[in-house]
Amino acid sequence: MALWFETALLPQGWAAGVRLQIAGGRIERVETGITRAADDERHAIGIPGLCNVHSHGFQRGMAGLAEIRGPEGDSFWTWREVMYRFLDRLDPEQIEAITAQAYVEMLETGFTRVGEFHYLHRDPAGRPYANPVETAERVAAAAERTGIGLTLLPVFYAHSNFGGAAPVAGQRRFINTMDQFGELMEASRKAIAGLQDANLGVAPHSLRAVTPNELAAIVPLAEGGPIHIHAAEQTKEVDDCVAWCGMRPVEWLLDHAEVDEHWCLVHATHMTAVETQRLAASGAVAGLCPITEANLGDGIFPAQSYLARGGRVGIGTDSNVLLNAAGELRALEYAQRLNTCSRNVLADIVGRSTGRGLFDTALAGGAQALGQQAFGLCAGAAADLVSLDANDPTFYGREADALLDSWIFAGGKVDCVWRAGRAVVRQGRHIAGDEIAAHYRRAVESVLD
Ligand code: NGQ
Ligand code: ZN
Spell out which residues line ligand 1, taking CB within 6 angstroms.
Answer: 56, 80, 230, 233, 296, 318
Which ligand 1 atom is at minimum distance from the Cα of 206?
A: 12
Residue 403 backbone phi and psi in degrees, to 5: -65, -45
The arithmetic mean of pLDDT across residues 61-68, rounded, is 98
Q: Are 172 and 178 in contact (CB under 8 A)?
A: no
User: Cα of 287 to ligand 2 centre, how many Å?
Assistant: 10
pLDDT given at position 348? 84
Which residues lie closer than 8 Å to 434 by C-beta, 6 or more apart?
Answer: none
User: Ligand 1 atom 6: the closest Cα is on which residue?
Assistant: 80
DSSP 302-353: -HHHHHHTT-EEEE--BT-SS--HHHHHHHHHHHHHHHHT-S--S--STT--
Ligand 1 mutation target, pool 80, 90, 210, most atoms within 8 A of CB: 80
DSSP 360-412: HHHHHHHHHHTT-SS-SSSTTSB--EEEE-TTSGGGTT--THHHHHHHHHH-P
In angstroms, the CA 316 to CA 396 distance is 29
Q: Tell me: the pLDDT tens digits for 14-44?
A: 999 999 999 999 999 999 999 999 999 999 9
Q: Which residues pair with 417 in a beta bridge?
A: 386, 425
The arithmetic mean of pLDDT across residues 60-74, rounded, is 96
User: Cα of 312 to ligand 2 centre, how many Å?
Assistant: 18
For the CA of 58, the nearest ligand: 1
Q: Which residues pair with 200 in a beta bridge?
A: 152
Residues with Cβ within 5 Å of ion ligand 2? 318
For the CA of 77, the nearest ligand: 1
User: Ligand 1 atom 4: the closest Cα is on which residue?
Assistant: 56
In angstroms, the CA 283 to CA 288 distance is 15
pTM for the model: 0.98
Q: Tell me: the pLDDT tens digits for 338-386?
A: 999 999 999 988 999 999 999 999 999 999 999 999 999 999 999 999 9
User: Cα of 286 to ligand 2 centre, how many Å?
Assistant: 13
User: Ligand 1 atom 3: the closest Cα is on which residue?
Assistant: 205
Go through 212-231 and write b for each residue having 16 or more CB atoms within 10 A of its CB, e for each that does not.
eebbebbbebbeebbbbbbb
Q: What is the Cβ-side half-sphere exposure of residue 49, based on CA atoms within 13 angstroms? A: 34
Structural domains present in the chain: 2-48+385-419 (2.30.40.10), 50-369 (3.20.20.140)
Task: Please choose, from the candidates 338, 317, 284, 279, the residue with its C-alpha nearest in 3D space to the C-alpha of residue 56.
Answer: 317
Which ligand 1 atom is at minimum distance from the Cα of 117?
A: 3
Task: Please choose, from the candidates 130, 144, 145, the residue with its C-alpha nearest in 3D space to the C-alpha of residue 192.
Answer: 144
Q: Are 276 and 282 in contact (CB under 8 A)?
A: no
Q: Annotated active-site positions, please?
A: 267, 318
